[in-house]
Structure 1
């Protein structure tokens, strides 16, 4: 049987540490972007709340108050949807980076296992090669299954994201339409 040399072991450990450090950096970067998005959203919300309160205090009759409330629904919906889109973009970018690192680690590990099996198979006598060949076939089948699952998961994520975007657009359009209808009704 083949033994790992100390250099190979050290190289594998360093690769794992580098991957972990890279992923930790990406996680902190994601946290920083989400924190910045939240701070921007809070600042904008405070400013809009102050402006809204000033408008409410200047209202002289209930119809104006109702019109003001209807007027604020659509922009609030738009801001919430914009926040969610930006949040999803940050998470998607981070997930993409994690996927890249995971793919590199998976490919390297798979190649190392294939090389190990090939090395063991080439050094064994004819008799024990059959179980190793069966193990190689099982590994190939598992690899194909994993890659199929990975592709299916990517497609499912894309479909879910597309569906959410369609629902968001419909909600935004509905909010604008309701605001327009209430504005027209208030004007009459």
Structure 2
């Protein structure tokens, strides 16, 4: 006959709850870091776009093509840096 040991059951449940809280805490830390990263990106993007818009409005039409072309490489680098930060955050979770 298989009997349930209440103390063993309580220990198992306590361990499971402890692991659940540890996982939840770790997950929320990751979410907090991702949120902070996204807020940084939004602030930087808004500032850069404001400066870019001022530059575009003061440019002649033929200069706009060169201005647009000059943004491709920095934009790709920023996307790569963002992805690297996200990877680092998710690796720690």
Q: TM-score, normalised by structure 1?
A: 0.47
* Residue number in structure 2 paired with 1:169: none
Q: How far 1:4 moved relative to its partner? A: 4.1
1:2: Cα distance to partner? 5.6
Distance of 2:24 and 2:61 partners within structure 1: 56
Structure 2 gaps, min length 5: none
| Alpha-carbon distance between aligned partners in 2 of 1:60 and 1:2, rounded to the nearest angstrom | 86
Q: CA deviation at 1:26?
A: 0.9
Deviation at 1:3, TM superposition (A): 3.6
Which residue in the other structure is 2:66 paired with?
A: 67
How many residue pairs get aligned? The number is 93
Query: In structure 2, how many angstroms separate the alpha carbons of the residues matched to 1:85 and 1:61?
Result: 36
Runs of 4+ off more than 6 Å: none
| Residue 90 (1) aligns with residue 89 (2) | yes
1:61 Cα deviation from its structure 2 partner: 4.0
In the TM superposition, 1:156-167 aligns within 5 A as none
- For the pair 1:23 / 2:23, whether they are aligned, the reply is yes
Deviations 1:133-183 (A, max 9, x none): xxxxxxxxxxxxxxxxxxxxxxxxxxxxxxxxxxxxxxxxxxxxxxxxxxx
Query: 2:75 aligns to what?
Result: 76
CA distance in 2, matches of 1:3, 1:87: 49
Counterpart-to-counterpart distance in 1, 2:79 and 2:59? 26
In our comparison, the structure showing a higher alpha carbon Rg is 1
* Higher RCO (Cα < 8 Å, 6 or more apart): 2
The 3-state SS of whatever aligns with 1:11 is helix
Pair 1:57 & 2:51 matched: no
- TM-score after normalising by structure 2: 0.91
Match of 2:11 in 1: 11
Q: Which residue of 2 aligns with 1:40?
A: 40
Structure 1: where are the runs of 5+ without partners?
A: 95-188
